[in-house]
Amino acid sequence: MTQTVPAPDETAQPPSGPDQPERARRRRFWGMPGWARDLIEVVLIALILYIIIWNALQTVRVEGTSMVGTLQDQDLLLASKVSYDFGLNPARGDIVILVPPTDPTRDFIKRVIGLPGDVIEIDGSHSPTQVLIKPGGQGPWQLLKEPYLPQPWTTQDYCCKPNGTASSTPEPLTIPQGDYFVMGDNRNFSSDSRAFGLVARDKILAKAFLRIWPLNRFGGLGSGPTLETATTGSALLPLGGVLWIERVRWRRRRQRRRAAAAARHAVS
């Protein structure tokens, strides 16, 4: 008996596993092997992440001693450029990078003290110097408590003129909408709103939130200020008014003494 053996089907395909189509697709991608395609994907993802981070964050090198008490000269910080986007605004105590109104070519780092709508007054006749605030312009005076200050504050310790700069006596200032009052923590050695005035919102560029160098001080930037109800006379009456009243009284006393001396001279 003759047995017929069928000829092999020359068009039949070899068996393939579930990942065979993927490997074939990878070989066809730009004519590159799979490892090259994977490398390109990693580079593209890294590039996209870099662009996102570059637009959201920036590093800031502290130059100078105006923020001593919280920051040291040459500290390297990480700052967020999107903290104040999407309708958010700086808060009291934020450490911010800003462009001073007197020198648009430089960036300063300062602490936000007064907000739009606040009434602020600085009284250097007390020890320590008092920063008095009516948040939003409402209610009694609140005393700003700042535990981070490195030393007693004795320079530019009266404020404020209408533009926010230092004055010779305590003068209450209502901060206009869109403006901020800023100061350095090292008040005796800081060029801030007392020198260059109020800072517009669009001149505040970023919020510093992390110290990344030196490594032995790596971490956050500490707690900010707090407000408590003032108990001094300024809580009831601005000290500028008190000083004016005392000056009037002094003048009257001097006039009475002169009148009495003239009367005695006429009698003699």
Q: Are strands 95-98 and 108-114 parallel, antiparallel or unpaired?
A: antiparallel
Q: Which of 113, 117, 104, 94 has its CA nearest to residue 159?
A: 113
d(CA 130, CA 133): 10
Can you point out the beta strands (E) in 31-178? 57-61, 76-80, 95-98, 108-114, 119-123, 130-134, 142-145, 173-174
Phi, psi (deg, nearest 5) at residue 127: -130, 115
| Among candidate residues 120, 133, 124, the one with its CA nearest the CA of residue 227 | 133
The three-point CA angle 114-118-123 to 5° equals 70
Give the CA dihedral 41, 44, 50, 56, nearest 10 degrees.
-100
Residues tagged active-site: 66, 110
The token pair at 22 is 């993927």
Token duo for residue 55:
């637009």
